[in-house]
Amino acid sequence: MRKRKREEVNYWMSYADLMSAMLMVFALLLTLVILDYKELLDKKEKEIKQVVSVKTEIIKALTEQFKESNMSIEIDQQTGAIRFPGSVLFSKDSSEISPKGKQFLNAFIPKYLDILLQPRFRNEISSIIIEGHTDKQGTYIHNMRLSQDRAFSVLDYIYSKEIPPFPVKKLSQSYITANGRSFNQPLKNKKGEYDPDRSRRVEFLFRLKDDEAIKAIQELVEE
């Protein structure tokens, strides 16, 4: 009987020792996983700060370039998007750039693209987008066609012989696209009400190469 009891005691001690060892291994593995995850988060946080820093630099450079100009432009300090009223470039319901609009683009385009495509930023830029936007008058399809035609007219003019040569003209072809958005992104006035005049516009936007990846990381971290 005593022998059986000793065997049982030895059995449970061995089992307890085994469980303790397994718990230690599990704790060690968990610690390694946590450290690896923390290292990954630290790395991604650094990447986020770097991208935000680049975007902030670009927005600051754009603001400095155009703050004393007489151009009717609006710079979004969060995204860097540059907006100007459609009336600056086009007559009502037209996609043909007016003489006044051509003068505006002659002054705006070289300065804008020289900033974005300077050596400091060009490797960070994935795309530059020209967007046409309309107000809510008319059908969706009519306004989509009008906004696309306007965006393309601006793109076409940039590479025409009418605009004076500028240093990054050829290089910019690897970056610029043109899109129409119809009336899908209306703007509001200071009172928070729909503003048809602001909504009729052309926008120049830029995307950084890591924008989408950083957005996904931020959403993951905030969960």
Question: Average pLDDT of the chain?
Answer: 83
pLDDT, tens only, 16-28: 565 666 677 676 7
DSSP sequence for 86-118: GGGTB-TT--SBPHHHHHHHHHHHHHHHHHHTS
127 three-class SS: strand
Percentage with pLDDT > 90 across the chain: 59
Query: Which 8-state DSSP code applies to residue 204?
Result: E
User: pLDDT tens for residues 113-160?
Assistant: 999 999 999 999 999 999 999 999 999 999 999 999 999 999 999 999
pLDDT at 71: 82
**How far apart (Å, rounded) are the C-alpha atoms in residues 142 and 201?**
16
Residue 118: closest CA among 50, 178, 57, 67: 57
Residue 186, helix vs strand vs coil: coil
Over residues 183-197, mean pLDDT: 92
Q: Which of 108-117, 141-150, 212-221 has the lowest mean pLDDT?
A: 212-221
| pLDDT score at 9 | 47
Residue 186 near residue 134, CB atoms below 8 Å: no
Residue 35 has pLDDT above 70, yes or no: no
Q: Classify 156 as helix, strand or coil.
A: helix
pLDDT at residue 37, rounded to an integer: 54
According to DSSP, the residues that pair with 131 across neighbouring strands are 179, 203
